[in-house]
Amino acid sequence: MDSESGNESGDYSYDESSDEVEYSSDWDEEYTASFEKISTTRRNLRKGNFNPRLFSFDSSSCELSFTIKNLALETPFDFFKLFFDRRLLETIVKETNRFHANSAWTSYSRTAPWIDTTINEMYTFLATVMLMPHSKKNRICDYWSTDHLIATPIFAELFTRNRFRALLTNLHFNKNQNQIVKDSLYKIQSIIDELKKRRTVSRVIDSARTAIIKHFVPKYLGFSHLTRRELIDNHTRPLAKLLFDQPSEDKAIIILDGTYIYVQKSGNNLLQRRTYSLHKDRALIKPMMFVSTDS
């Protein structure tokens, strides 16, 4: 019985170390050959002429507004003027100069002599205000400080400290004489009405969204813009076949890629609650994208 049990145990026992060495050797040989094949393919691609896939767009049917398509210069200032054009700045300049003329500070001896502001100066003033949050300081006067520890020379190049303070003090958007009692928005109502009337922001965003959905998405996004055969032949990397599948098998490989996209806090209460993340403590959306192995 002992000999039989010994034979039986011998039939079912194995040396783990020898099996691991043999398996490791076969594994190395298989993957070495596969990676050599991949590297050879890449070298052959580099020798030839690389022809990238070109995206063809017809600007005549892109459905963007005429103002956007015919910008003389494509600078950030050009796009800013789509929202705050010269007519809107004329209103701000006119009311700012009017407020100072009717202000009691006009005859105050310690103030610097007032010079009526202009549209170009007001554009520079708004740019300075938007630049300030990028370099936060405790006080407004610190932006013009000459202390080497906190100095930011760009502000002194744009304005003197006193001139900036004078513009900030006299900045106005509407006549005080016509103010309606209990109307808390009267001071800025003219700007709100102007933006609502033109609806520049919504028109720009809506025209871009419509153009993308109509001309870009059907051709380059979604499951219907290419066939399964095209996905396997043209959009599957050799390394992906090696890691996720057998190189000889004909299977489509798709990667699910999830990420965070941070968005601004919405004014809509329902959307605000749906986009708020307790984990990140801010508003965001979490898209899940289906992509091929070559992205």
Phi and psi torsions of 290, nearest 5°: -100, 115
Contacts of 173 (CB under 8 A, 6+ apart): 91, 92, 95, 187, 188, 189, 190, 191
What are 27's two structure tokens? 């594994």
* pTM of full prediction above 0.95: no
The whole-number pLDDT of residue 126 equals 94
List pLDDT tens digits, range 143-195: 999 999 999 999 999 999 999 999 999 999 888 777 777 777 888 888 888 77
Cα(191)–Cα(91) distance, rounded to whole angstroms? 9
What sign does the CA torsion over 239, 245, 249, 254 have? negative
Identify which of 171, 87, 86 has the alpha carbon closest to the alpha carbon of residue 129. Answer: 171
Residue 274 near residue 242 (C-beta atoms within 8 A)? no
CA atoms within 13 A on the CB side of 221: 7
Give CA–CA dist 122/97, Å, rounded.
11
> pLDDT digit string (tens) for 104-130?
665 554 667 889 999 999 999 999 999
Pair 59, 69: CB distance under 8 Å = yes
Q: Under a CB-based contact definition with an 8 Å cutoff, are residues 158 and 128 in contact?
A: yes
Angle between helices 161-170 and 86-101 (to 10 degrees): 90
Arithmetic mean of pLDDT, 232-247: 76
Out of 14-28, 54-68, 163-177, 216-230, give the one with best mean pLDDT: 163-177
Q: What is the CA radius of gyration of the chain?
A: 34
| Residues contacting residue 111 through CB under 8 Å, at least 6 positions apart | 105, 166
Mean local confidence (pLDDT), 17-21:
43
Higher pLDDT, 259 or 43: 259
CB 84 within 8 A of CB 120: no
Comparing CA positions, the residue from 110, 102, 167 lying closest to residue 140 is: 167
pLDDT computed for residue 1 by the predictor:
46
How many residues make up the chain in this entry?
Answer: 295
